[in-house]
Amino acid sequence: MSKAILGFSKLSKQEKINWLAQQHFADPEAATTLLQSYWNTDAEVQKLHDEFIENTVTNFYLPLGIAPGFIINGKEYTIPMAIEESSVVAAASKAAKFWSTRGGFKATVLNTEKIGQVHFMYNGNADKLKVFFEETKNEFFTDTETITKNMQKRGGGILNIELRDKTHLIPNYYQLHATFETIDSMGANFINSCLEQFSKTLREEAQLYTAFTEEEKDIKVVMSILSNYVPECVVRAEVSCPVEALNEDKNISPEEFADKFVAAVKIAEVETYRAVTHNKGIMNGIDAVVVATGNDFRAVEAGVHAYAAKNGHYTSLSHAKIEDGQFTFWLDVPLALGTVGGLTTLHPLVKLCLQMLGNPSAQELMQIVAVAGLAQNFGALRSLTTTGIQQGHMKMHLMNILNQLEATETEKQQAVKHFEKNTVSHSAAAEFVTQLRTIDKARIEEDFLQ
């Protein structure tokens, strides 16, 4: 029997759940109960969530943790992080504490330009197209005035529009390449609206341009869309202190730690296999704050990884050096973020997270997010070059293992104490819990016999 259904989107939420439960689960009642158990108890909040996307049946929760004690440009922040991976929030908090007594984090927004493009096909003389563009360029600005009016009042708008010849890549392929300033909004809707007007103006003005032949007038717009690659919307985060101040670990000298740390970063700069994992660790911190503040982590991920490969070789986003006895660790990362519009004004927890950060501007949020990425990278590299990554990670992961084993609270407490001095693994935890249960069973039987 086919499981396809017509008009699914027109069903009520309960009807969608009923169909889903009946068609895809051996126990429809249990599936329905589970889906409904994740609904928000506040009907208005749940209605809001239902309308974020199409065909909503329930909510999918991520833990929201906080990493307190971040000193950024002399100001203290408590950073919200929405993420499911164990040890991430703990590592960020530990890095925040470490650097809070060593000058804190410094962050600088290097640029804030965003990019959009109109991709089109033109079959004609390239020089005539260039002349046409220069003669009609002002029309693109004029025709978008109703769209850009409010953005211009806030200090943003269209910065520039260029004609780019891409015929060496695809025959007849050209672009209108535009740059934008969107102030505190991420700006996707604003940019795309401008681009669609550009495409309309392009086609209309081409039809009126008397120097074009009929074939040249027939410009075919393929698509108009913003780019999530924003190499001119970049923020730098950094930390620095004398090498001798890196004296946190008694098992390694500050000098040896600094040398190993810098070497680890340099390896990530030249070795792609390492760079990918290195940057994934950075994104643990970045994505967690991006999600918590209602921004688009997929767009950020795509843009960041393109930036990491901008020179033709995928490399580390962070860098480190020792000069004149001073240790410096820094990160340059492209971040197109917003603090107004989208989920930032709709999602209750997003609004709460932004309030927690002091209702930052988009540029301030860029700095906070970059610092979270650098802190995460520092924590990972510190573990890798000293105790090894698994010691801390697996101890944080222990609770997940114990939950899988359906351990009781008493068993969890005993297990946590046991693995303070023993290596954590799934098999070791399972064996320990089994031993506890065997001992408890023997005690119960003994008590019964007495």
Active site residues: 85, 280, 296, 393
Written as six digits, the tokens of 209 are: 């341009």
Of 222, 233, 226, 164, the closest CA to residue 193 belongs to 226
Distance CA 111, CA 105 (A): 19
Helix H, strand E, coil C: the string for 127-194 is HHHHHHHHHHHHHHHHHCHHHHHHHHHCCCEEEEEEEEECCCCCCCEEEEEEEEECCCECCHHHHHHH
CA distances (Å), origin 43, targets 48, 49, 360, 414:
9, 10, 30, 41
Task: Provide the 10 A C-beta neighbour count for residue 310.
Answer: 12
Written as six digits, the tokens of 267 are: 């390896």
Distance CA 373, CA 375 (A): 5
Distance CA 108, CA 101 (A): 20
399: burial class by Cβ within 10 Å (0-12, 13-18, 19+)? middle
What residue has token string 């070791």? 428
Distance CA 296, CA 55 (A): 20
182: burial class by Cβ within 10 Å (0-12, 13-18, 19+)? buried
Q: In degrees rounded to 5, what are phi and psi of residue 360?
A: -70, 160
Dihedral sign for Cα 228, 234, 236, 237, please: negative
Taking a C-beta distance cutoff of 8 angstroms, is the pair 78, 92 a contact?
no
CA 374 to chain centre: 13
